[in-house]
Amino acid sequence: MPYETLIYQKEDGTAIITLNRPERLNALSYQLMAELEQVADDISEDGEVRAVILTGAGRGFCAGADLKERSDPGVKQPIRKRYTVFHKIEDLDKPVIAAINGVAIGGGLELTLVCDFRIASDLARLGLGEIKLGVIPAGGGTQRLPRLIGAARAKRLLFFGDHIDAQEALRIGLVDEVVPAEELMPRAKQMTKELAERPPLALKIAKSCVNLGLQMDLAAALDYEAKCASILVASEDRIEGMRAFLEKRKPVFKGK
């Protein structure tokens, strides 16, 4: 389907989502949120997509909620759902890389938190400034952030509302890599190319083990891991992987 507030492309098994409201630093309008939700559904059902890159057009990744739109009494606000676009992106059964090309603040930073990897341009700035507006992050920031960087560091970002640069984000574990701006997309595409060569069924199950396991106690998570591992033992991909190893050739995985 055509999109108005984002650009969707596919390249060699990689889905590239570009938030495309550069004049508003890709702020999350209601339309953009709806289109993100739709593209997540499309990717989930597309067997050709093996990995996803999420980035922004222009000089920003995403400036968070479109406050101008939300403060307009003439704009009808959609009913808030329990299962949001953030959950949909987090629950995609394919690896998702956030290529953070500029500012990622508020809901923009929360959007990166539902991705599996975060690569930042050296020009990026990140933060959660909601406290300065008298509110708190409502896209999972108070929960996903401390799980990623620890409670004390998360509270510093949440309570003070200040922005940090890419190198500080790397130091505290908020991003995985920092690269020069011109190398951001090539690096993200290099990663998705490598991920596309991995067995998709094993990737899907490994992601599920991590994401769901973090919501369980250790004993339950280990039990879930064991059950998932037993599923993979009987898979065609596991047999192909072992056969290719013994035959000293590159495996051809089919996700079965």
Active site residues: 110, 130
Q: Is 47 left (phi over 0), alpha (psi -120 to 50) or beta?
A: alpha
Tracing tokens 């060569």 back to the chain, one arrives at 197
Dist. CA 116–CA 159, nearest whole Å: 25
- Per DSSP, 28 falls in state B
CB-CB contact of 192 with 247 (8 Å): no
Dist. CA 79–CA 103, nearest whole Å: 28
- Per DSSP, 22 falls in state G
Tracing tokens 């089919």 back to the chain, one arrives at 254
Dist. CA 52–CA 114, nearest whole Å: 12
CB < 8 Å & 24+ apart, contacts of 69-77: 69/27, 69/29, 69/30, 75/30, 77/30
CB-CB contact of 86 with 64 (8 Å): no
Contacts of 172 (CB under 8 A, 6+ apart): 149, 153, 164
Dist. CA 250–CA 181, nearest whole Å: 33
